[in-house]
Structure 1
C-alpha cells in the first residue's frame, strides 16, 4: 500500500505539489483565524447565577435564595452538576453543563428557568447571570495613575468613564472595577429626633427614595406651541437630600436635616488594591468573552485605552498592571525561533552529509506545510493556540525533520545500491 502511494506520488508530482501548496495556503489563513491565548482553557462549561441581598446572613441567603434557585435549575437538560455557595449578602449558583453544549444555548435555558424561579424569591430580589467569560478570561488588568486625585474621585472616573468605554471593545464580556471608594450619600439619623417628631426609620427611607426621581407630565399647548411638562427631582448634592420633607409636626414641615445629618462617604470595603507596595490604586479587570482571541482582544483594548486617555483629566494616565499578551507573544516567538533553528540545522546537516541542496529543500518545505496543516485541525476541532498546543507543535518539528532526514538518507542508500548493481550490466551490453 505504501509503495503504491509513493509510486503514485512520484508519477503525479505536480499534483502533489499543488495539493501541498493548497494546504499551506489554507493553513496560513487558519493561523490567522485560530484563537491565540497563553493559558489553555480547562475550565468547565458553566453558567454562573449571582444574587445579591445585602445585609443578610449566609443562612438566610441559603434558605431563601440559594435553595430555591438550585431546586428549580435542576430540570434544565444536559446539566452535569449544580454547585452553590452562600455568603454574607451574596449567593452564587454554578450550573455545570456537558462539554459539548453551546455556552449561549446554556445561558438562554438558564435565563428561561430563572424567569420561572423569580416568583419563589423575596420581593425585590432579582438574580442575574454572570459574564459569558471563563476562569482564565482575565486577560488584562490596568490601574489609573492619578497622583493628584483621591481614591473616591478615581473610582468615580473608573466607574463612569473608563469602564463604559472599554466595555464597548469587541470580545470584552465585562470590565470589573477594583480599589478606591464608591461614593455614596450617607444619612446619619438621630433616633431621639425620630422619636420626638414621631417618624419611623422606614418613613425616612421611603421618602428619600421617592424624592430621588424625575416624573413626566403631559403636553401643554398654547399659541400653537407645545410644551412638555416634567418634574425634575433627581438628587444632585447633599443639600437636595437635606431639604426632603418627611412629614409635619404641629403644622411645620419636618425635613431630613431636622432628624439627622447628610454627608458624603465611601461604601464599606472588604479589601484594598496595592500596587508594588507604593500605595492604593484604582483600576479594572478586563474579562474576555468565551471563545475569543485573547491576543486580538488585548490589542483592541490597548487601542481603546489610547482613545480614552484623551478624555481623562490632566495628569491622569492608564497603566497596565497585568498584560497576558507578553506571555502570548513569548510563546509565538518561541515557536518561530524553533522553526528557524530547525530549518538551519536541517540545511546544514543535509548539505554536509549528502551534498545535495534539493534534498535539504524537500525537508525544509515539510516544516511550514505540516505546521499549517496542524492549525487546520485545531480549527476543525475548535481548539485554540496556547502554550500546550504550541509546545506540542515545537516538539513535533523534531519528529518531522527526523523523518525527512531518514527518508532522504534511505532514498540515497537505495539509489546508490541500484546504481551499483545496474552499472556493470550496462557496460556488458555496450560491449
Structure 2
C-alpha cells in the first residue's frame, strides 16, 4: 500500500504524527469535563407561574391554560406541552423536536408570554422561563444551620451573600433556599380594635400601600446648584410603620398601631427542611452545561473557608450529598480497570508473540489510538464519563486486532527470510485490505447507536464515537507506526538468536498448545465436513436456544446503580397542617433508624411542603401541599446494598403507616438523569376530557396492578381529596346591604395574607439595602376557625355601623377538591405510578400492557392511555437498536459483497454472528443479568469482533480456493492458519473485559452487562469463526464452479 511505502520512506513524519496525537490526547484528557454520565440535552423549556392563594383549579383555568394555548399556537417545533398546576403555582414543561433552535424558542416563549400578560389576573408577575435538560441535577447541597440565628437570617445569607460567592464558579447554578422563611414586615391586624374604629382589613392594606411607595422625585436648580429632591415615600424603620395614618375622622386620626401590630417577622412556613432531625436551610447546587462535577465541587470546597468566614457568627455551613464522591470513585475504579486491562492484554500479547520487541510495537499503537479517541470526544463536545471510559476499556481488546494481525504477519514473513522492511511491505500487501473490510464492518456494527433517540442516544453516542475513532486510528497506525517500528526494532531471521529464559519457555508452551489446538481443529473439521448435517443441526439448536434465552431474559433500561442514596415521596392525609406532617416525618425517620444501623447512616434530610416556585423550574418536586414531601437518605461508606434497605423501609411504611402514600424516587445523578420527568419506573398516563371516567379507570388499573408480582408503590399521583371551604357570596344580599364585591374580596385577601399576590408591597431596609415584603394579615394564631373568618367585617354602605360580618352575605360549604391539575397538550391527565422490586421492568411492563389492553375499550373517543418513564425509554431504545442492527448487517453485507465479489461468501462470513449472539444471551442468563441497553451494546461489540474474525477466515479460504485448492481443504487450511490471530484477538478481548464483568467498585454495575455479553459472545463466536464458518465454506463452495483464471478478479494472496 502507498501509505506503508510512504511511512517506511519517511519515518520522521510518522514520528511527528505520533507525537501530535500523544500531545493532543493528553491535553484533551486533562481538559475534558468529568461526570458520571454524558450530558443528556433533550431540548425543553419550563415556564413557572406564581400567584399565591389561587387554588389549583382556578390557577389551571385562568393562568396555565392561557400560557399553554399561547405556546402551542405561537412557538415553533413544539413536540409536547405538559403542565402541573398547584395552589398558587403552575409549572409548564415544553418539549421540542430534536433539531429545534432553543435560543429562538426561548425568545418566542418570552415574547408571547409578555403578550398574554394583559389577560392574566390582576397583579400577577411574569413567569420564570428556564431552559431545562435532564442532566441538570443536584450535585451537592449546602446546609445552613444555627442555634442562635433566626431562620430569616439564614435565608438572607443564602439568597444574597452565598449566591454571589458561589455563582461565579463556572457551570454551577444555585437554587433558592429550601426550608427558609424570608424576612417580612408583618402587619398583624387587631380585629377587635379595627371593629371599634370601623376600619376593615382592606383599608389597612390600602393605607400601607399608599404610604410605602417607590416613586422618583427629580432635582431642583437653585441658584448655581442642582439639588436632588428626596421624599419620605417610605418609612425609615419598622417602628415608623406604626405611625402611618389609616383614617382621619371627626378630628381624630387612627394610626396603624391602633389597629395592627407591626413587627419585623416572617410568614408562616410552607416548606420545612430538616437535616438529621434539626431544622435547617438547604441550598442545592446544580451542574449546568458540560461542566465537570468534580471540578465544581473542588472549587466550592476551596471557597468554603472564605464563605464560612463571611457568614454571620453562629452559622454553620455543611456540605451534604456530595455527588463528586461517587463520580470520583467510579472514575478512579474504571481508570484502574483500564490499566489492569492494558496490563493483562500486554501479558497475553507477549506470551503469544514471545518477543518483547513485537509486544512493544503492538502496545505502542493502543495508547495512541485511545488518545485519538479522547481528542475526538473533545472535538464533539462530550464529557469524560463512565460510558466513554467504558468504551475505551472495551476498545483495548479490539484495538489489539489490527496491530496484532500486522505484526504477526510481519514476523511470519521475516521467518520466511525477508528483511524487516520488505516483510512490512509484503505483510501490508497481504492483510491491509481484509483488515480494512473487518475494521469497516466493526465500525458499521456501532452505527445503530447513532440511530438511538432520547436518553439512550445521548448516553451511548460517546461510546460509539470512542470505539469508532480508536478503531480508525488503530487501522491508520497499523499501516504507519507499526511497520516503521517493525523496520527499526525487529531483526532479520538470520541474526535472531535463539531465545532462552522464562518468557521463551512460556511462549514455547503456548506455541505447543496452539499446535495441538490447530491439529484438533483440523481433525474436527474433517469429521464435521463428512457429517455436515450434524453441524448444521447443532448450529440451529444453538441459535434456537439463544433466541429462546433472549426472549426469556428479564428486561431493564439500565442496570440499577447503588450510589448509597435513597429518596422517598411521602404523603399523609390531605389537608394536614405542616406542623403535624413534620411530626409524622420525625416518627418515620425514627423507624428508619431502627432499620438501618446508625453506623451506616450519614445523613437523613426531610423536605416537607411545596418549595419556592422558582425551584420547581430547576429541580422536579412532586409535593403539592403541606401534607407531603420528600425524605432522602445518604448512606455511609461500606454500607450494605441500599436496595435491601429500600425494600425494608417500604414494608415498614406499609405496616406502620397504612394511610400514608409513598413511592421511591430516583436519588443520585445517574438515576435522576435516566428517569427524566417521571418519578417512577413506569408512569401510566391517562389523558382526555372524560375526567370522571378516566379516574374510575385509573382506580381499576391500580387494583389490577396490586396483584402483579414485583410491582410496588402503585398509586395515583394526583390528589383529588384536598379539603377546602367554599365561600359563596350572595350577590343580591350584598347589594341590599351596599357591599361592594371587590371590597369584600379584598377584606378576605388581606385577612388571609394573600393581598400581596394582587398588589405586592416592598420596603427597603436602609441598613442592609435589601428589599423585604410588607404583609398585612390577620394573626394566624387567631384565624384558626371558619367562624372567625366569617366574622370578619366588610364595608357596607347601608349598614348602620358601616360594616357587616362576612357571614351576613356569604355561606360556607366544606368540600373536597383536586390539589393539583395535570394536563398534556391541554387535555386533563391522570398518572398511575408504578415501581419495581426484586424484578425487572420488562416483566412489570408486560403486566401493565395487559391491564391497559383490558381497560382501553372503555375509553371514550379522544381519550388515551400510554406508558411513560424508563419503561417507555427502554422500549424505544430496544426498537431503535434492533432496527439499526438490521440496517448495519445490510451495510456489512454490501461491503463484503465488494470484497468477495460473491453473493454467497458474505453470508458464510456472517454465519457465525447468530452463534456469537447466542453466546452473549447464554452469558447473561448464566450470570443472572437482565437484558438492558448496555447489554445490547455488548451484543453490538460481539457482532463486530465475530464478523471481523470470520471475514479474515473466509478471505483466506476464498484465496486458497481460487488458487486451486479443494474447497474443503481450503476451509481447513484457513481455520488452522488463521487460528492464532483469531484466538489471540478473542483471548485479549475476553481478558480485557473480565475486570469490568465483575462489577466491582462504584458504578461498576453500569458496564458489567456489556462485558458479560462480550465474554459469552466471544467464547461461542470464536468457535463459530474457526469451525462453523470453514464448515459452511467447504459445504457450499464445493458446489460452486471455480471461475477460470482469466475471469477471476485480481485478488491478493493473503497470509
TM-score band, normalised by shorter chain: 0.7 to 0.9
- Provide closer, same or farther for how the CA distance between residues 232 and 38 of structure 1 changes in structure 2, counting only shifts above 3 A: farther
Q: Is the 8 A contact 1:197 1:249 kept in 2?
A: no
Please name the residue that 2:163 is paired with.
Answer: 163
Per-residue CA distance 1:30-88 (angstroms, 9 max, x = gap): 33443322233436311111110010011111111111111111121122211111111
Partner Cα distance (2:171, 2:49) in 1 = 25
Q: Which moved more, 1:400-409 or 1:249-258?
A: 400-409
Partner Cα distance (2:34, 2:493) in 1 = 56
- Provide closer, same or farther for how the CA distance between residues 209 and 219 of structure 1 changes in structure 2, counting only shifts above 3 A: same
- Provide closer, same or farther for how the CA distance between residues 188 and 423 of structure 1 changes in structure 2, counting only shifts above 3 A: closer
Partner Cα distance (1:309, 1:150) in 2 = 17
Q: Which structure has the larger Rg over C-alpha atoms? A: 2
Counterpart secondary structure, 2:274: coil
Per-residue CA distance 1:78-125 (angstroms, 9 max, x = gap): 222111111110111111122233433332222122222222222322
TM-score, scaled relative to structure 1: 0.85
- Provide closer, same or farther for how the CA distance between residues 315 and 198 of structure 1 changes in structure 2, counting only shifts above 3 A: closer
Q: How does 1:54-133 map to 2 (within 5 A)?
A: 54-74=52-72, 75-133=74-132
TM-score, scaled relative to structure 2: 0.37
Q: How does 1:349-428 map to 2 (within 5 A)?
A: 349-401=348-400, 404-405=403-404, 407-417=406-416
CA shift for structure 1 position 300: 3.5
Counterpart secondary structure, 2:176: strand
Q: Is the 8 A contact 2:145 2:154 kept in 1?
A: no
Partner Cα distance (2:175, 2:318) in 1 = 15
Please name the residue that 1:143 is paired with.
Answer: 143
Q: Is the 8 A contact 1:37 1:295 kept in 2?
A: yes
Q: Is the 8 A contact 1:248 1:254 kept in 2?
A: yes
Q: Is the 8 A contact 2:341 2:393 kept in 1?
A: no
Q: Which moved more, 1:206-215 or 1:110-119?
A: 206-215
Counterpart secondary structure, 2:112: helix
Q: Is the 8 A contact 1:30 1:375 kept in 2?
A: yes
Partner Cα distance (2:140, 2:493) in 1 = 70
- Provide closer, same or farther for how the CA distance between residues 153 and 243 of structure 1 changes in structure 2, counting only shifts above 3 A: same
Partner Cα distance (1:397, 1:363) in 2 = 11
Q: Is the 8 A contact 2:110 2:129 kept in 1?
A: no
- Provide closer, same or farther for how the CA distance between residues 291 and 126 of structure 1 changes in structure 2, counting only shifts above 3 A: farther
Per-residue CA distance 1:229-280 (angstroms, 9 max, x = gap): 21244456542222221111322111111112234443333442222x2412
Q: Structure 1 residue 42 and structure 2 residue 40: aligned? A: yes
Please name the residue that 2:22 is paired with.
Answer: 24
Q: How does 1:197-276 map to 2 (within 5 A)?
A: 197-220=197-220, 224-235=224-235, 237-275=237-275
Please name the residue that 2:339 is paired with.
Answer: 340
Partner Cα distance (2:303, 2:132) in 1 = 20
Counterpart secondary structure, 2:372: helix
Alignment coverage as a number of residue pairs: 420
Partner Cα distance (1:217, 1:26) in 2 = 62
Partner Cα distance (2:291, 2:180) in 1 = 30
- Provide closer, same or farther for how the CA distance between residues 414 and 147 of structure 1 changes in structure 2, counting only shifts above 3 A: farther
Please list every run of 5 or more consecutive structure 2 residues that lacks an aligned counterpart in the other structure.
Answer: 419-491, 495-1055
Please name the residue that 1:429 is paired with.
Answer: none
Per-residue CA distance 1:404-428 (angstroms, 9 max, x = gap): 4454444434433556xx999xxxx
Please name the residue that 1:427 is paired with.
Answer: none
Counterpart secondary structure, 2:279: coil
Per-residue CA distance 1:319-350 (angstroms, 9 max, x = gap): 21122222332233234323332343344444
Please list every run of 5 or more consecutive structure 1 residues that lacks an aligned counterpart in the other structure.
Answer: 425-431
Name the one with the larger helix percent.
Answer: 2
Please name the residue that 1:428 is paired with.
Answer: none
Partner Cα distance (1:279, 1:413) in 2 = 74
Per-residue CA distance 1:352-373 (angstroms, 9 max, x = gap): 4544333232233233322222
- Provide closer, same or farther for how the CA distance between residues 36 and 175 of structure 1 changes in structure 2, counting only shifts above 3 A: same
Counterpart secondary structure, 2:139: strand
